[in-house]
Amino acid sequence: MTDWFLQQLINGLALGAIYALIALGYTMVYGVLRFINFAHSDVMMLGAFAAFYLTPPVAGMLGEQSVWTALVVILLSAAICAVIGMTIEFLAYRPLRKRPRLTVLITAIGVSLFIEFTGQHEKVFGAATKSFPKLLPSRDIVIGALHLSSNDIVVLVLTAVLLAAMWFIVQRTKIGMAMRAVSYNEQAAALMGVNVNGIISFTFGLGSALAAVAGIFYAMRAPGIDPLMGIQPGLRAFIAAVLGGIGNLPGAALGGIVLGLLETFFGGMPGLSNYRDGIAFAILILILLFRPAGLLGKLQTEKV
Amino acid sequence: MLEVRDLHVNYGAISALHGISLDVKQGEIVTLIGANGAGKSTTLRAISGLVKPRAGVINFDGQNIAGVAPHVIVGRGLAQSPEGRMVFANLSVLENLRMGAYRRKDTANFAKDFDYVFSIFPRLKEREQQTAGTLSGGEQQMLAIGRALMSKPKCLMLDEPSLGIAPILVQTIFEKIVEINRELGLTILLVEQNANLALEVSHRGYVLETGRITLSDTAEALRGNPEVQECYLGGE
Ligand SMILES: Nc1ncnc2c1ncn2[C@@H]1O[C@H](COP(=O)(O)OP(=O)(O)OP(=O)(O)O)[C@@H](O)[C@H]1O
Ligand SMILES: [Mg+2]
């Protein structure tokens, strides 16, 4: 029983870590622009595809399944997605900055569908599932009855490092301070000399880079990748961001972990696995009924 | 130092400023008085670049800054403490002051400038680690002014520093405004509804009525003007 529990715990944490990485992007963009970037989950998918195409050439230079190959592929994919995220903001959202939020929201859904359907085109990625290359040598670590995949451990450790790095950037650097200032009041930030467009761009870049990493981690655990692979984890991560308190970074991380654990535990219970989403979401609704602003969110009370 | 010529500003189809002109010279405190909705804040917002003027020229330090992005204007030495204070409630007092110095590269001088702000507003020193949202209205106003000072401006614009603040604190804040002007030689453009107080501390003043300048004179003369007395000084 305890083995089963530990096993689910590790699985749940690894899955939750991935949700957390995606949720950070949703919540950061919400923080500066107050809207949900529905195309975020597709950027995650693009991260997985970038890694899919980059792995063979990089492995050719640095060796199959080597740590260096993995590192270079992850960094390059993150950089590519950062550029894609900033481009989406520049082309699709920036011209609508002064328009009602709903306009931007619908545009975001449009961008998302555009990426998904373009990706499915046979001349692009194609709709069929592709098997994701092995980035790292994966080993099963057996402790008693416990089977842990080394990939899960890597995902957990790297996510923890990334979360800490994000916290540092937002709380301890000048650009992070500007992000928080823009999030509170864009005009006041501009009056301090902050280039608001630059900060918004940076926020999209950062969120998209994290999404790319999440996409790769997700692909490492999934049977394969396809242009619609972002939808499911994207939805979960969005809910994780709301659960944690939208706009709140530690909240997004916590929400992701909670969601990953719920999903894994209920999915792993015999007889309950078919209901796992139902149960997970019912719990979510309950939490939000009692804490409408999310686990760590504060209800906005603006002092004028 | 600051010359505004024939400035027009629209909000959509509504015209808020229909051609105003004003001057602020080096070292002066100039005040802009006017009723609610006259366009005082709009004037400051246009000068800071927050709204784009439809027409007109804004010369600051010899350069036309009309239509230039707000963050660039701050970098040129024109700071504003906006209406309603707009301190970053989610940031600490110290971080708010650092935000004021956002465009400065000379980090070595920050400590000295923090000390100056704390010397004029000792309350802020006591609360430096607190988040700004927990400050009282008057303290937030001090912070907004201190934050603007941290950019080391050549000219400082203050939009209704007395708004919603206890009378004793208003007195203190105005004393400090005069002190900043004298000690740093800082040029100040002040917007106020409390015309009495504003004219007391200023050298010159302009009266703004629904988007037009209707009077301009020395503060002394404006205080003696019967029309101004009736409309803005509570008719004595
Ligand atoms: N964002 C806006 N959109 C449309 N109209 C606006 C906007 N901001 C101000 N106005 C209008 O422009 C005019 C001038 O407003 P402004 O805020 O400059 O007045 P003010 O002199 O600062 O008034 P107060 O003393 O109340 O602060 C008003 O008629 C106001 O309704
Ligand atoms: Mg005003």
Helix (H, G, I), strand (E, B) or coil at A50: helix
Q: What are phi and psi of A207, to 5 degrees?
A: -60, -40
pLDDT at residue A159 above 50?
yes
Q: What percent of chain A has pLDDT over 70?
A: 98
In the structure, what pLDDT confidence band is assigned to residue A69 with cuts at 50, 70 and 90?
A: very high
CB A44 within 8 A of CB A115: no
CB B12 within 8 A of CB B54: no
pLDDT at residue A300 above 60?
no
CB A203 within 8 A of CB A169: no
- What's the first-to-final CA gap in chain B, in angstroms? 35
Residue whose entry in the numeric block shows the structure tokens 């944690």: A244
Alpha-carbon gap, residue B43 to B56, rounded angstroms = 12
Closest-CA residue of chain A to B138: A304
Alpha-carbon gap, residue A19 to A215, rounded angstroms = 10
Flag if B91 and A174 touch (Cβ within 8 Å): no
Give yes or no for residue B40 CB within 6 A of ligand 1.
yes
Q: Which residues of A touch B88 (CB under 8 A)?
A: 180-181, 184-185, 188-189
Among candidates B79, B86, B90 on the partner chain, residue whose Cβ is nearest the Cβ of A180: B90
Please state whether beta strands B187-192 and B155-159 pair in parallel, antiparallel, or not at all (unpaired): parallel
User: Crossing angle, helix B110-120 and helix B167-184, to 10 degrees?
Assistant: 140
Alpha-carbon gap, residue B127 to B125, rounded angstroms = 5
Residue whose entry in the numeric block shows the structure tokens 């988007």: B211
Q: How far is B80 from chain A (nearest CA, A)?
A: 7
Helix (H, G, I), strand (E, B) or coil at B24: strand
Question: In chain A, helix, strand, coil percent, each to 5?
Answer: 75, 5, 25
Q: Burial letters for B44-68: b for 16+ Cβ neighbours within 10 Å, e otherwise?
A: bbbbbbbbebbebebebeeeebbeb
Q: How far is CA A84 from CA A129, A162, A205, A276, in A?
A: 23, 20, 8, 34
What is the structure's pLDDT at A71?
A: 95
CB A30 within 8 A of CB A36: yes
Q: Dump the DSSP string for B141-161.
A: HHHHHHHHHTT--SEEEEE-T
Which residues is B158 bridged to in the sheet?
B81, B190
What is the structure's pLDDT at A301?
A: 44
Rg (CA), chain B: 17
Which of A263, A273, A224, A279 has its CA nearest to residue A16? Answer: A263
Task: Name which of A160-169, A275-284, B16-25 the model is least confident about.
Answer: A275-284
What is the structure's pLDDT at A304?
A: 33
Instruction: Check CB contact of A183 with chain B, cutoff 8 Å.
Output: yes
Under CATH, to which class is B2-86+153-232 assigned?
alpha beta
What is the structure's pLDDT at B235?
A: 53
Alpha-carbon gap, residue A105 to A109, rounded angstroms = 6
Alpha-carbon gap, residue B217 to B232, rounded angstroms = 15
Q: Which carries the bigger pLDDT value, residue A285 or residue A110?
A: A110
pLDDT at residue A209 above 60?
yes
Alpha-carbon gap, residue A140 to A113, rounded angstroms = 38
CB B33 within 8 A of CB B232: yes
What is the structure's pLDDT at A149?
A: 86
Q: Which residues of A touch B84 (CB under 8 A)?
A: 304
What is the structure's pLDDT at A1?
A: 67
Residue of A173, A192, A197 to mutate, interface with B, max B Cβ within 10 Å: A192
Task: Name which of A146-155, A166-175, A243-252, B21-30 the model is least confident about.
Answer: A146-155
Instruction: Check CB contact of B151 with chain A, cutoff 8 Å.
Output: yes
Q: Whose CA is nearest to atom 29 of ligand 1?
A: B37
pLDDT at residue A250 above 60?
yes
Question: How far away, in angstroms, is B41 Cα from ligand 1 center?
Answer: 7
Q: Which two tokens stand for residue A44?
A: 């995650």
Q: What average pLDDT does this structure show over A297-303?
A: 56
Please state whether beta strands B212-218 and B204-209 pair in parallel, antiparallel, or not at all (unpaired): antiparallel
> At A281, which amino acid appears?
F
Q: How do residues A6-22 score in pLDDT, each as one tens digit?
A: 888 999 999 999 999 99
| pLDDT tens digit at each of 236 positions of chain B | 999 999 999 999 999 999 999 999 999 999 999 999 999 999 999 999 999 999 999 999 999 999 999 999 999 999 999 999 999 999 999 999 999 999 999 999 999 999 999 999 999 999 999 999 999 999 999 999 999 999 999 999 999 999 988 888 999 999 999 999 999 999 999 999 888 899 999 999 999 999 999 999 999 999 999 888 888 877 54
Domain ranges of chain B: 2-86+153-232
User: Crossing angle, helix A2-33 and helix A150-172, to 10 degrees?
Assistant: 30
What is the structure's pLDDT at A42?
A: 98
Mean pLDDT value across chain A: 91
Instruction: Check CB contact of A188 with chain B, cutoff 8 Å.
Output: yes
Q: Which residues of A touch B49 (CB under 8 A)?
A: 190
Residue whose entry in the numeric block shows the structure tokens 């992070």: A176
Alpha-carbon gap, residue B90 to A183, rounded angstroms = 9
Q: What are phi and psi of A137, to 5 degrees?
A: -65, 120
Please state whether beta strands B2-11 and B55-60 pair in parallel, antiparallel, or not at all (unpaired): antiparallel
CB B189 within 8 A of CB B157: yes
Q: How do residues A185-195 score in pLDDT, each as one tens digit?
A: 999 999 999 99
Alpha-carbon gap, residue A92 to A236, rounded angstroms = 24
Q: Which two tokens stand for residue A106?
A: 């619908």
CB A79 within 8 A of CB A68: no
What is the structure's pLDDT at A302?
A: 38
Residue whose entry in the numeric block shows the structure tokens 């950061």: A28
